[in-house]
């Protein structure tokens, strides 16, 4: 299943958490952003929650060449898809992420169930579960 969300100003998780009285809180801005992401995904969702192992491909397009850490952007996305697209983010066995520079903000995500985990020729086979 592929999702495309355009025009939404992507926010990273790093600078939107607040600490107070031994707890961490999400800022109202982050809660609104997460809801916008959920709405974008739900408007395109056509299936049930995936139960097996999943592979996630993420493509983030930024509007300018400012230095950005891509991981901070896709962490939010993976958290939002938890419970919507797949039951739990522990089901993710493979992630591919790439960023590019374009004319505006754009996010494309493809999530697919996989039968077995792809291994690299230079690594020993891994065992899941």
Number of domains in the chain: 1
Question: 128 in a domain, yes or no?
Answer: no
CA atoms within 13 A on the CB side of 54: 23
Q: Which domain does 12 fall in, by range?
A: 2-113
User: Residue 14's pLDDT is what?
Assistant: 59
Q: Is residue 69 packed enough to be buried (19+ CB in 10 Å), middle (13-18) or exposed (0-12)?
A: exposed
User: Residue 87's pLDDT is what?
Assistant: 92
Per-chain mean pLDDT for the chain: 80
- Looking up residue 104, the CATH number of its domain turns out to be 3.30.1330.70
Q: What does pTM read for this prediction?
A: 0.75
Question: 82 in a domain, yes or no?
Answer: yes
- Under the banding of pLDDT at 50, 70 and 90, the label for residue 122 is low
Cβ atoms 63, 102 nearer than 8 A: yes
Question: 118 in a domain, yes or no?
Answer: no
Average pLDDT over residues 37-62: 87
- Under the banding of pLDDT at 50, 70 and 90, the label for residue 48 is confident
Tell me which of 13-22, 44-53, 64-73, 85-94 is least confident.
13-22
- Under the banding of pLDDT at 50, 70 and 90, the label for residue 13 is low
Question: 29 in a domain, yes or no?
Answer: yes
């Amino acid at each position: 299943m592929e999702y495309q969300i355009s025009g939404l100003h992507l926010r990273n998780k790093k600078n939107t958490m607040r600490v107070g009285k031994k707890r961490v809180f999400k800022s109202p801005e982050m809660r609104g952003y997460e809801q916008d992401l959920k709405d974008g995904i739900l408007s395109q969702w056509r299936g049930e929650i995936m139960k097996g192992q999943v592979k996630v491909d993420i493509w983030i397009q930024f509007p300018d060449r400012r230095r950005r850490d891509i991981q901070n952007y896709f962490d939010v996305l993976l958290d939002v898809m938890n419970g919507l697209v797949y039951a739990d983010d522990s089901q993710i066995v493979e992630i591919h992420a790439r960023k590019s520079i374009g004319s505006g903000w754009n996010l494309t995500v493809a999530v697919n169930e996989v039968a077995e985990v792809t291994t690299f020729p230079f690594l020993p086979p891994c065992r899941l579960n």
